[in-house]
Structure 1
Amino acid sequence: MIRAVVLAVVLFASAAQAEPSFFDWLDAAPGRRAEVAALQRYLDKTHVGDVLGPEDLLRNASSWRSCGLGYPWSMPPRELWPHVVPTLRFIRDQVIPEIGPVMVESGWREPKLNACAGGAPRSAHALYYALDLVPQDMITRRELIATVCRLHARKGKGYNIGLGFYDGVRFHIDSKAYRRWGSDNHGKTSPCSTFTG
C-alpha cells in the first residue's frame, strides 16, 4: 500500500512538471493560431521562414515555470518581428553550417518574464533581437566556443551580431549590436577573448 501511494505521488509530481504541448498553447487563446501563421508568413516573405520552426522560435525563457508563466512560448508583438530577421540570417548562414542544427532555449520575453529572468528592460530578448541556443549535435564546450568565436570574429560585425556564452553549450546570438560577453554578462569575460585554439 505504501509503495502504491509513493508511486502515485511520484507520477503526479512528474505529470505536474511535464511541459505543456505547443498545440495546447496555440489553442489557449483566441486568434493565436492565426497570429502564429501571420508570423510564419512574414518570416517566409523575408526568406528566413525555414531557419527554425515556430515551436522553437516562440520559446520565451527556460525560467518560464519559476517566473509564473503557464507556457514556455510567447507571441512577440508584430512591431518587433523585423528584429529577429537578421538574427535568423546569421544563424542560417553562419552558425548552422558550422555546428549543425540548433534548438532555442530562450527568445522573446514579455516584460514581466524578462524582469523575472534578470534581463534589462531594453534587453535584446525584450526587443526580440535575441535567441539563446543549444546545438542539437554533440559538441564540447571548447569546440563550440572555438567555432562560434571564429564566426563572430569573421562575420559578426557585418551582421551586427552580439555573442554571449552561458554554462555548458548554451550560447546567445542577437542582432541588436556587435559585441560579446561571458557568463557574467561582461565583455572582458567572453571566452572569445581568452580562447587560444
Structure 2
Amino acid sequence: MIRLLALILSLLLASPTLAQGTPESPHWDPASEYITAGQDELGYRSWFMALPSRSYQVKMFNEYLSTYDVAGIVPTWQLFRTATAWQRCAGQPFEIPPTSEWPNIVQTLRYVRDYVIPAVGPVEPVSAYRNPALNVCAGGAPESAHKHYSAIDLVPLRQTTREQLMQTLCTAHGRRGPAYGVGLGFYAFLRFHVDTTKYRRWNMDPAVASHCPPIVRPPDFASVGRALPQPQVTTAPEATALEAVKAEQVPQPSERAPADQSISPPDPLAPQH
C-alpha cells in the first residue's frame, strides 16, 4: 500500500500540467514577469497612504467608473500602474491620470469587458497611464495611447500559450475591433496591448497572422517590446493635487460603441483589491 501511494504521488508530481503550473497554483503568474516590488499591491498601499489627497482622488475615479458602468472589470488599483520601467525612469509606480483623460479609458474597459475577458478569461493590467515625461523615458511613441489613458497592457490569468492568446484575441479583434476603434498589439511572452484610439494591429507572429486580417503597423504604438536607448532620467510629476481635482469638471466619454453587458459596481468609496 505504501509503495502504491508513493507511485501515485510520483506520477502526480511528474504531471506536465502541474509542472507548468495552473491559474490556481503559485507557479502560474505571468504578471510577475512585468511587475517589480513597489508596483505590486503592497506597493500600491504604500503609495496610496503617502499623500492624503489620494484617498479623495481614488474615490472620485471609482465613482466615475461606476457612473459609466465600467467599475469592477479589473481591480481599480491596477489601472493606476504606470510603466514597467518606472524605477529606471525615476517615476512613480502608480499615478491617477488628469481627469481630462478619464473618458478615454471608458471605451477601452468596455471592450476588455465585452470581448477580451469572455475570450481569454481574467486579465491583469500591468501598465496603463504614462505621463509625458515617463512615456518618453519608457520608450513610448510621441502620441502613445498610454499617454492619453486609452491604452492598457494586460496579461491573461488563465493558462494559455502565446499562439493561443494571439489567435483568440485576433478573432475577437477582427469581428468587434472596428466598432470600438481598437488597437491590438503583442509584446514579449503573454503581454498584450489594447487601446481604443483607432483600429489596427501589430507584432503578430507570422504563423498566426496568416489566419487574421492584414497587420497594420501604425507609427504611434508604444515601443514596450523593443530594446530602448538609454534616455536621460527625468522625474515624473506627482499626481494631481486635491485642489486641482476639485476644480476640474470631469468630461463625459464618447459613445462610439454600446456596451453589451452590465455589471454590479463595487463600493466606490474604498480602493479595490
Q: TM-score range by the shorter chain?
A: 0.7 to 0.9
Q: CA deviation at 1:123?
A: 1.0
Structure richer in helix, relative to its length = 1
What are the equivalent positions in structure 2 for 1:29-68 lying under 5 Å apart?
A: 29-68=51-90
- Of stretches 130-139 and 18-27 in structure 1, the one that deviates more from structure 2 is 18-27
Query: Relative to 1, partners in 2 of residues 1:191 and 1:157: Cα closer, same or farther, differing over 3 Å?
Result: farther
**How far apart, in 2, do the equivalents of 1:99 and 1:117 lie?**
28
Moved more, 173-182 or 26-35: 26-35
Tell me if structure 2 keeps the 8 A contact 1:159–1:175: yes
Query: Which residue pairs with 1:143 in the alignment?
Result: 164
TM-score normalised according to structure 2 size: 0.61
> Does the Cα contact within 8 Å between 2:82 and 2:127 map onto a contact in 1?
yes
The RMSD of aligned alpha carbons is 1.8
CA displacement, residues 103-154 of structure 1 (integer Å, 9 cap, x when unaligned) = 1111000111100111122210000000000001111001000100001001
Structure 2 gap ranges (5+): 1-35, 213-273
Which gives a bigger RCO, structure 1 or 2 (Cα 8 Å, sep 6+)? 2
Which structure has the larger Rg over C-alpha atoms? 2
Distance 1:58 1:191, change over 3 A: farther
From 203, 209, 224, the counterpart of 1:193: 209
Pair 1:178–1:96, CA change in 2 (3 A):
same
Gapped regions of structure 1 (runs ≥ 5): 1-16, 184-188
Aligned-partner residue type, residue 18 of structure 1 = A
Call closer, same or farther: CA 1:96–1:42 in 2, change over 3 Å: same
The CA deviation string for residues 157-176 of structure 1, in whole angstroms up to 9 with x for no partner, is 01110000001110000001
Contact residue 184 and residue 202 of structure 2 kept, 8 A:
yes
CA contact 2:163–2:208 (8 Å) conserved in 1: no
When the two structures are aligned, how many residues end up with a matched partner? 174
Match of 2:37 among 11, 15, 18: 18
Letter in 1 for 2:94: W
Return the alpha-carbon distance in structure 2 between the equivalents of residues 176 and 106 of structure 1: 16
Give the TM-score of the pair, scaled to structure 1: 0.83
Offset of 1:30 from its aligned partner? 3.2
Shift of 1:93: 0.4
Answer yes or no: is the 8 Å Cα contact 2:82–2:129 preserved in 1. yes
The answer to whether the aligner puts 1:100 opposite 2:110 as a matched pair is no
Separation of aligned partners in 2, 1:191 and 1:31? 49
Q: Per-residue deviation at 1:82?
A: 0.3
Amino acid at match of 1:193: A
Determine which of 110, 132, 144 is the counterpart of 1:123.
144
Relative to structure 1, is the Cα distance of residues 164 and 96 closer, same or farther in structure 2, using a 3 angstrom cutoff?
A: same
Distance 1:66 1:26 in 2: 21
Q: 2:148 aligns to what SS in structure 1?
A: coil
